[in-house]
Structure 1
Amino acid sequence: MTNTLISASELNAILDNNVFIFDCRFDLFNPDVGFNQYQSEHIPNAHYLHLNNDLSGQIASENGRHPLPKPEQFAALVASYGITPDSTVVVYDDKNHCYASRAWWMLHALGYTKTVVLNGGFSNWKQQGFTTNSEIPEPPEKQKISSQKPINWQLPTASVEKVKTAQSQDSFFLIDARENQRFIGEVEPIDPYAGHIPGAINKTWLDVIDSEGFFKSKEFLADYWSFLQEKDSDSVHYCGSGVTACVNILSIIIAGHKPPALYSGGWSQWCGINPKKPIKS
């Protein structure tokens, strides 16, 4: 186990060791599906984190479909479970890692660096024959954090202004994690119009996950992202709303690079503040 991934067998071995587990299964087109799946069957002692309600902030005008919550808001939720920076936290979804990676990013960005993603997800956990149940742990009591210091995200984030900088400077890569059909503007199932942010390149999150739902090897990922190191460049990563971009970011860290910046507003925010003709390849 590293500070990125844990296997099903490794998790099973420490299941009774006061590990905190969060089920993050979700469906963008049916927001109730993930919680219904969780209620039916989950890894023992797992709590549930809902993308819309727990892993996102309040949607306001032109801030994207899944804006990050205020750091102190998410910090209060995490603290209410009794989690400390020394706690081992495991997050999982089904097998695509989109929602677990978002939770992983947010927890690491608050300093909970012993958070790991279950590689292969819930699907592999079941395939391995490990225990599941439908018992729902007691929900935590919501708490406020009293701190004299402001709470900030400790991993890099990108504002719209930084994205515009990345568009115009050779020292930045602006990387779109969405499927290629959405990037080139052939389809857009969710957002107002199709296309991508001018200047972006497409490195889809699907490239870093294999057909069985595991992150590809460190060697593959190091080669896949080697262009970042070759130019010693910074990169800004986005997707539709800051979810699948976290899969790419996690894979970059697995590959041995420093954490890049997340533009969580993504294409959904860009459409709102730039209602112009779609950019197509």
Structure 2
Amino acid sequence: MSRRVLTTAAALHALLGSGRPPAVLDVRWALGDPHGRDHYADGHLPGAVYVDLDTELAAPPSPRDGRHPLPGLDTLQAAVRRWGVRADQPVVVYDDLGNTAAARAWWLLRYAGLTDVTLLDGALGAWRVAGLPLETGIPAAPAPGDVVLRAGALPVTDADGAAGLAAAGLLLDARAGERYRGEAEPVDPRAGHIPGAVSAPTGENLAADGTFLPADALRERFGRAGAGAATRIGVYCGSGVTAAHQIAALEIAGFEAAVLFPGSWSAWSADPDRPAATGPLPSGSPSAVAGSAGGSS
């Protein structure tokens, strides 16, 4: 069953003044920027709790599991309680990057069984544009929450499963086009993409103001990528972070149960036995598909 994915700035402002305010989580993170907590301190939504993506929304990196493996359930539950989330309390998450980082928290909490979790549409920018108040500094920790998590409410797959989706379903690559094509690879061992995967950059889920495109526009976008005919849809990115944004967009568009490959390209490219395709086509060209043993990446 599809659930509401987004909350507007106006709706959140009203909820914060209601008798049942949501927990608000600030996931200020960007690749290569270690200063998320400082950005949070410079200005965040009233009552928002800072969430560290690298240490609270991911396990330690490894070649097998990638740069942002899923955290263990006990570790995640301890973090969510530390954020003050209570049983049956709505949760709203946001960042300052079009929700491309916040979607990781949205996905993880949904995966762990919480049902009323939404993204602030337009992220922090929408709140600012609406002229709504911000707080500064690092507040005292909230009272501990009591939420109980249960993993498995959303589907995941490993590298073999991702290869299967690329061959007999639809596997979307949510990274920027130049990384998909193998023209640039700033962080992972090899350039290119999983053979058979279709390029669908996360940034194209958003309008110019940072809000998600309307559902019909997203449905048309993913339909052009083959989602309309696919019985199973999987998504990966660099390390399983922005792929969650793609899953949110697919749900807004009406496609349900998209499968996340958490290890994503960071795990796939670290395995020398996994082939890499380059170029704009899903399977690349015959000369562009090879494992590291073939010398082409």
The aligned residue for residue 270 of structure 2 is 272
Distance 1:13 1:258 in 2: 29
Matches within 5 A, 1:70-85: 70-85=72-87
Following superposition, the deviation at residue 237 of structure 1 comes to 0.4
| Contact 2:86 2:146 survives alignment (8 Å) | no
Q: Which runs of 5+ in 1 are unaligned?
A: none
Residues 215-260 of structure 1: CA distance to partner in whole angstroms, max 9, x if unpaired?
Answer: 0001101222236553241011000000111111101101111120
Check the 8 A contact 2:83/2:145 in 1, yes or no.
no
Match of residue 28 from structure 2: 25
- The equivalent of 1:216 in structure 2 is 213
Structure 1 position 64 matched with structure 2 position 66: yes
Number of aligned pairs?
274
Contact 1:76 1:143 in 2 (8 A): no
The alignment status of 1:246 with 2:244, answered yes or no, reads yes
Label 1:248 to 1:277 Cα distance change in 2 as closer, same or farther (>3 A). closer
State the SS of the aligned residue for 2:98. Answer: coil
Code of the residue aligned with 1:180 in structure 2: it is: G
Q: In the alignment, residue 173 of structure 2 is paired with which amino acid?
A: D
Q: Tell me the residue number matched to 2:294.
A: none
SS, match of residue 90 in structure 1? strand
Q: Does 1:191 align with 2:192?
A: no
The answer to whether the 8 Å contact 2:6/2:118 transfers is yes
8 Å CA contact 2:218–2:253 kept in 1: the answer is yes
1:244–1:63 Cα change, 3 Å:
same
Counterpart of 1:166 in structure 2 is 165
Aligned equivalent of 2:229 = 231
Q: Deviations over 1:122-143 (max 9, x none)?
A: 1121121101011433325889
- State the identity as a percent: 32
Deviation at 1:206, TM superposition (A): 1.3
Cα 1:230–1:275 change in 2 (3 A) is closer
In the alignment, which residue of structure 2 is the partner of 1:128? 130
1:175 match: secondary structure: strand
RMSD over aligned Cα atoms = 2.2
Q: Which segment drifts farther, 90-99 or 177-186?
A: 90-99
The C-alpha deviation readout for 1:90-114, integer Å capped at 9, x for no partner, is: 1000142111111100111112111
Query: 3-state SS of the aligned residue for 1:13?
Result: helix
Q: CA deviation at 1:60?
A: 2.7
- The letter of the residue matching 2:95 is D
Structure 2 residue runs of 5 or longer lacking an equivalent are: 280-297
Higher mean C-alpha deviation, range 270-279 or range 47-56: 270-279
Q: What TM-score does the superposition give when structure 1 sets the normalisation length?
A: 0.90
Q: 1:277 to 1:19 in 2, by over 3 A?
A: closer
Report the equivalent of 1:202: 199
Contact 1:174 1:201 in 2 (8 A): yes
Aligned to 1:139: 141
Pairwise CA distance, 1:70: 1.1
Residue 183 of structure 2 aligns to which amino acid in structure 1? Answer: E
How far apart, CA to CA, are the structure 2 residues paired with 1:16 and 1:203?
A: 38
Give the whole-Å Cα distance in 2 for the aligned partners of 1:279 and 1:87.
44
Secondary structure in 2 aligned to 1:9? helix
Is the 2:49–2:83 Cα contact (8 Å) retained in structure 1? no
TM score, norm. by length of structure 2? 0.85
